[in-house]
Chain A
């Protein structure tokens, strides 16, 4: 398997660096399927005779494994390079679907937990961080644009997987024309098999297209001195082990955690929330279920486009300033949503769209922020550790929102005022994140790697 080694993926002279973003996108578009599990959730509930919660655990395990594997495997990914990491991610992701399909065909839910949840979740984590440090090295002049392109794919993956999965379920189930149709377990099993094959091919395309730049490579016309001119951008390097000892890492962790928690609060409740905001005194909502579904789709596009647009903008504004926008402007928009959101549907939709674009932007800008603070040396590994903020927010966000809403009344009886405590709690979180981001200063030089050792180990022998 030597062909997967970093040394075998070093770009030849004259390699076009614009081949690297589609390689990264190929992986992220595939693993982004994780956000499209609702397509077959009801079918699995019926097939296994399980509760919604029991089936929902599949997704929860996958997201927890994403955070854990990104944190644990980050250094391994940086050491072995993107090709081996993408290949490994493809094996785990496709393997997860295969094991999951066996669980579905044999009606053993625990096998789906193990397959999609544990094995697939490891593929998610490795796949998510696999192209990040490589893109940053290829695009030292535009790191935000480069990582934004890749991480946009994670948001876009669900947009592809949802309609494709629906079409395949219909094709695989002979009863798909029946009224009130719910896909059979057999159809979901076949869908899993199909996705395993398609994702394996796509991710291997990414693995064999990606290249790492040769030592000392830099884009024509790129002057590192200009980058250094920005106060927070370092030309030094900090190891992953040292990075987590710095105040800066934990301040960025808090900023990301607050931004993601606030965003998840809206995303989790998107469809019922818009209906509740426009509920009339007779208990009926002005917003139908179909319109609410359209709203959820619009938020997905906001999430995806924000990842690219805001991250690319951060190359011009600087990472700290763009996070001030995500968190500061975000807090103001949440207040507007809480007190004026119910005045007009258009206003509500515009506010929610911008808020979710900030949520996506926070994810996509994080790797470039880490590059600025800690250098390129082990930025992938540091990014992996930072993603534990995502896992924590994935638990905290729904807990906070659902807990507060449960105290306000029953689903179907809530109105705009019922959401104010939850939204104002999110405002408080965003203010905490804003202050944390404001406190970010350059990393103390005692954490910097000695220059000669860094040179020796920058392509593999991480110590």
Chain B
């Protein structure tokens, strides 16, 4: 997606906040992945 952004009409490069970005996505991604995994193990009975 975008690497730069318009603010008040001026070009401002997006800050390199990779660590913060990764942490934020991990905080929501890990529980969600856990929930999906747990549900899929239940779903396995449907095809077993």
Q: Is the CB of B28 within 8 A of A26?
A: yes
Main secondary structure of the interface of A (DSSP, over half): helix
Over the window 151-179 of chain A, the binary record of Cβ atoms lying under 8 Å from chain B Cβ atoms (1 yes, 0 no) is: 00100101111110000000000000000
Q: Which of A29, A215, A220, A301 contacts B40 (CB 8 A)?
A: A301
Main secondary structure of the interface of B (DSSP, over half): helix
Q: Which of B2, B12, B27, B42 contacts A294 (CB 8 A)?
A: B42
Interface size on A, residues (CB 8 A): 44
The yes or no answer to A110 lying at the interface (CB within 8 A) is: no
Of B5, B12, B27, most buried by chain A (CB within 10 Å of CB) is B5
Q: Which residues of A contact B35 (CB under 8 A)?
A: 156, 158-163
Q: Is the CB of B1 within 8 A of A153?
A: no
Q: Is the CB of B8 within 8 A of A15?
A: no
A159-B24 contact given A13-B10, A298-B46, CB 8 Å threshold = no
The yes or no answer to A18 lying at the interface (CB within 8 A) is: yes
A16-B39 contact given A29-B28, A29-B32, CB 8 Å threshold = no
CA distance A449 to B39 in the complex (A): 47
CA distance A15 to B7 in the complex (A): 10
Beta-carbon contacts under 8 Å, A277-336 to B? 288, 290-291, 293-295, 297-298, 300-301, 304
Of B11, B29, B45, most buried by chain A (CB within 10 Å of CB) is B45
Q: Is the CB of B43 within 8 A of A18?
A: no
A19-B31 contact given A216-B9, A297-B39, CB 8 Å threshold = no
Q: Is the CB of A294 within 8 A of B44?
A: yes
A19-B17 contact given A29-B28, A153-B28, A156-B32, CB 8 Å threshold = yes
Q: Is the CB of B27 within 8 A of A159?
A: no
The yes or no answer to A217 lying at the interface (CB within 8 A) is: yes
A376 vs chain B, min Cβ distance (A): 16
Q: Is the CB of B42 within 8 A of A22?
A: no
Q: Is the CB of A217 within 8 A of B36?
A: no
The yes or no answer to A421 lying at the interface (CB within 8 A) is: no
A22-B24 contact given A218-B6, A301-B39, CB 8 Å threshold = yes
A14-B36 contact given A19-B20, A209-B24, CB 8 Å threshold = no
Q: Is the CB of A29 within 8 A of B14?
A: no
CA distance A162 to B39 in the complex (A): 9
B27 vs chain A, min Cβ distance (A): 7
Of B2, B12, B28, B29, most buried by chain A (CB within 10 Å of CB) is B28
Q: Which residues of B contact A301 (CB under 8 A)?
A: 36, 39-40, 43
The yes or no answer to A205 lying at the interface (CB within 8 A) is: yes
The yes or no answer to A452 lying at the interface (CB within 8 A) is: no
CA distance A25 to B25 in the complex (A): 9
A439 vs chain B, min Cβ distance (A): 35
Q: Which of B1, B10, B42, B44 contacts A18 (CB 8 A)?
A: B1
Q: Is the CB of B36 within 8 A of A159?
A: yes
Q: Is the CB of A22 within 8 A of B28?
A: yes
Q: Which residues of A contact B14 (CB under 8 A)?
A: 14-16
Mind listing 8 A-B residue pairs with CB under 8 Å?
A29-B32, A153-B32, A156-B36, A162-B39, A216-B6, A217-B6, A301-B40, A301-B43
10 more contacts with CB within 8 A, not counting A220-B2, A293-B45, are A15-B5, A156-B35, A160-B32, A163-B34, A163-B38, A219-B5, A222-B2, A288-B45, A298-B43, A298-B46
Kindly list the 4 A-B residue pairs having the minimum CB-CB distance in the complex, ordered from nearest.
A159-B35, A160-B35, A294-B46, A220-B4
